[in-house]
Structure 1
Amino acid sequence: MNSPNERLGYWLGRSGLSRKELARRVIAKAIEWGQPHITPNATRIRRWLEGESPRQPVPDILAGVFSDHFGWRVTTYDLGLGDGASTDAALTYDPSFTATVEVVADLGRADVDRRTFLAAAPFAAVAGVGPSRDWLLNVLDQEPDPGPRVRLEDVGMVKNMFATFQRMDVLQGGGSGRLVLAEYMNWHVYPLLRRSHDEGVRRALCEAAAEQTYLLGWMAYDNGEHSVAQRYLIQSLRLAEESQNAPLGAHVLAGMADQATLLGNPTEGRRLAQAGRHGLARSESAACLADLWCLEARALALLGDKVAAAKAVVQSERAYERVNLAEEPDWAAFIDPAYLHGEHANTMRDLENPAAAEEHACRSIEHAETQNRARRGAMSQAALAVSHLQRKELDKAHAAGLRTLRLTGKVKSSRAVEAVQDLQRRMRPFGNDPLVADFNERVREAAVA
């Protein structure tokens, strides 16, 4: 026996339509869509409410009827009739702003509802090629905005929330609070994009929405949900283009570059970082530039280009010397010495330069401790531990490993957990040494890996 379709019942009740009127509108919409054979009556509507599943294209027609009635998009998923548009659309950089708004709204709903098809979707290794190309070409064609930046109350509220959630991510990890942020976006931010505004207001809203959508992607990335993260980042890039904020788009490309390199595609990571740097040709964000050079160095190290990687680290440091925090946007707040030295430590680790890796790791750790940033501290302690292992200093590596483990327990971050797991793998060549056994036992007790 079928269970009643409570979602369809909810939307029918909210519409105030009778079953007979809904049937009439479905028939009219079916004729409009070239489907004159679809002729439900009030009895058929009752059966759908009781749980009978109509065949395609009836679910899409019903969604169209309710969307027309309410004046905003109602999906087949909202009606309890399937997932509707696939979130594969979120891998597409759509030239239509209206389509982009609907895609990112669908993605947000799927994320909050934890639908299994989204979690199981694979990371698409080269999905960033088209979006980064389209963003770069469009940004280079844009003229600088001659007017003052629009400051509206609703935009200001969104930006204030961004600062709150960004701080939550930095201090507690991406797995903490992301679904709350997604709910906030679904109910308060994405609906704003559907309203009619003048051009200046629309750009300001797109900028705020792009920042928040990027943060959703970054938090998913830090929590190891890479298919979700990739979709958010691509849609954030599209919103950033709509806002005509080149540094913000370059920042999104930095996130995409970081993810590509982490997942074993440093060639793509380098290309995305380079696209971001080219996009800054007519704009200025020293912090963003420092990050892009930093991430390019990470990719080059994994590609085995030691000379180019070392040069990229120097370029990153030079760019950061020009940073004026008062002039940088809120999203650049995390691009600081704790972050940059931590990433440089990983670059030097991959270049098998343990002395330089130790120097950068210690600088990162010092700043992270001052800021109470457990995630960054954990990853930099792990880099320090590896630098000791590369010099056969197991006792020092063990001590740094225990500090990594302690800090990892304070945050919800798959990257920190992966750093612990990486240390375990790197300790295996030391065989049955008591320090190796002790570290593995501590990991089991902590239940973080």
Structure 2
Amino acid sequence: MVSSGEAITRLLAEVGWQPEQLARRLNERAERHGRTERLHVKTPYKWKKGDAPRNPWPSLTTALLSEQLQRTVTLDELGWPDDGFEALPASAGLELPWSPAGALRAAEVVNEPEGMMHRRMFLTLLGSALTSPAHEWLISQPPRAVASSTGRPISGEVVDHLDAVTASLRRMDDHLGSGQTLGMVRQHLSTVVGVLRDRSYTDSVGRRLHGTAGELLRLAGWLSFDGGHHSQAQRFWIAGLYQAHTAGDRGLGANILGFMSCQAKDLGQLRQAVTLAETARATYPESSPKVSTILDLRAAEAYANNQSVTDTRRALDRAFDRLTDRRPEHGDPDWSYWINEAQAHAQAGYCYVKLEHWSRAREHLRAALRLQSSEYSREAALRNALLATTYVRQAQPDLDKALALGDQAVQTLTGQVTSARCIKHVRNLVGALAPYRRTLAVRRFCLDAKDLIST
């Protein structure tokens, strides 16, 4: 019988990795799946000697090795005991009919109490699995009727009240960040799901309720993504697509695809990011200039990460053109409230940072900071971190300006709002400053940022 140490040694040789490489890949995988645990790079040497890893490393290791070897690697093959985790793709339980009943079930599945899911590990969708839900949403036939005859009737006025709470939660996220808002969003989603399940309503009210649930799922996905929980975000967004489909709301569905594109680029899935962004643009009827602006900016970000300069500039030009469209016949959904000139400049600045066009990035980021409504917000922290990076990365670094901006970002993220996404940009800034660690001010900043970026 092959020992566990011999098994992991053989599999590492088959993959062509040293133990340190395995540890780094597992840490990347853990971060991608929203896990907080990290391995020391030397720990897999203990596994080669026969030690069994603790949770969640057995399930993560089998998933990683299966992906690399293009075959199933099991715990039995490794000689490791069952760690009690069930590793499932983020789409698990969401292979449902594109119908009102399927949409309701999707919302129930993803909003189960966390205690019911603590033995499951959802693996982030990558590659074609990432774009498959978008394709299904695109080709599914719209439902003919959404009315329900179950329970006491509910009126459109009640939906107005539910939507008012949703709007309040959106704006609460702007000031508190993901860490303090997601629980409240999930509670409100439970209320809306309960109404959909237990009350009777007309077709028009039913579509509105599914639209409300879809926007809450979109928001929950965004909060999860902002907090670094990628597989959870994907589950919320897939369920949100079901609601958008049942509601007949192409704008909501396109917006969800835009957020999925934003996540895909962060996961390094650059081709999939472009596919999702362009699917969103192609399927939206362009009835709202603000929504069209949002979708164009998502496309610009995807192209910038893919180093497509011409496509990035075209998408940005189109976004700014649409943002100035103020014709009275256009109506904008409430969830598009956040897109304004400051936000458009911020996202353009991000694009030019990715393209390493430092002066143009600074032009847009400075405009965003000048136009923003609050100095201490998640978006302000992000803009300061990106702007600081341009001063470090330019041909002649200006460390004083970079550190002053970096200090503001750290101050905001330490005492005002929580955002793993923004912390990642501060971490990138610290990495860019590494060649200048001999400078006292740089060492001081990196020390001040240490606790923040280690979270």
1:316 deviation in Å?
1.3
Give the 3 Å change call, closer, same or farther, for CA 266–432 of structure 1 in structure 2.
Answer: same
Question: What residue number does 1:12 align with?
Answer: none
- TM-score after normalising by structure 1: 0.73
Question: What residue number does 2:123 align with?
Answer: 122
* 2:292 counterpart letter in structure 1: L
Question: What residue number does 1:292 align with?
Answer: 295
Question: What residue number does 1:132 align with?
Answer: 134
1:441 aligns with 2:447: yes
User: Quick one: distance in 2 between partners of 1:179 and 1:293?
Assistant: 31
SS in 1 for 2:287: coil
Does the 8 Å CA contact 1:246/1:283 hold for their aligned counterparts? no
Aligned residues: 355
From 173, 179, 190, the counterpart of 1:175 = 179
User: Quick one: distance in 1 between partners of 2:143 and 2:287?
Assistant: 15
From 224, 228, 232, the counterpart of 2:228 = 224
1:272 deviation in Å?
0.7
| 1:320-359 → structure 2 map (5 Å cutoff) | 320-322=323-325, 327-359=331-363
Q: Deviations over 1:265-296 (max 9, x none)?
A: 1211111111111111x341211211111111
Q: Deviations over 1:340-388 (max 9, x none)?
A: 22111111001111111111111221233x2455100000001111111
Greater mean alpha carbon deviation, residues 161-170 or residues 291-300: 291-300
1:110 deviation in Å?
3.5
| 1:36-185 → structure 2 map (5 Å cutoff) | 88-92=91-95, 94-111=97-114, 113=115, 115-117=117-119, 120-125=121-126, 126-138=128-140, 152-185=156-189
Q: Deviations over 1:289-317 (max 9, x none)?
A: 11111111111112121121122111111
User: Quick one: distance in 1 between partners of 2:399 and 2:96?
Assistant: 48
Identity of aligned residues (%): 24
Greater mean alpha carbon deviation, residues 128-137 or residues 215-224: 128-137
User: Quick one: distance in 2 between partners of 1:218 and 1:342?
Assistant: 18
Unaligned runs of 5+ in 2: 1-84, 145-153
1:335 deviation in Å?
1.6
Does the 8 Å CA contact 2:98/2:140 hold for their aligned counterparts? no
SS in 2 for 1:121: strand
User: Quick one: distance in 2 between partners of 1:123 and 1:358?
Assistant: 34
Question: What residue number does 1:279 align with?
Answer: 283
Give the 3 Å change call, closer, same or farther, for CA 117–268 of structure 1 in structure 2.
Answer: farther
* 2:401 counterpart letter in structure 1: K
SS in 2 for 1:352: coil
Unaligned runs of 5+ in 1: 1-81, 144-149
SS in 2 for 1:109: coil
1:152 deviation in Å?
0.7
User: Quick one: distance in 1 between partners of 2:454 and 2:370?
Assistant: 24
User: Quick one: distance in 1 between partners of 2:133 and 2:326?
Assistant: 28
1:388 aligns with 2:394: no
1:423 deviation in Å?
0.6
Rg (Cα) greater in structure = 1
Question: What residue number does 2:52 align with?
Answer: none
Q: Deviations over 1:91-139 (max 9, x none)?
A: 546323213312321221244x483345x42211143422212222348
1:419 aligns with 2:425: yes
User: Quick one: distance in 1 between partners of 2:171 and 2:449?
Assistant: 28
Does the 8 Å CA contact 1:254/1:273 hold for their aligned counterparts? yes
Give the 3 Å change call, closer, same or farther, for CA 202–269 of structure 1 in structure 2.
Answer: same
Give the 3 Å change call, closer, same or farther, for CA 283–361 of structure 1 in structure 2.
Answer: closer
* 2:136 counterpart letter in structure 1: D
Question: What residue number does 2:434 align with?
Answer: 428
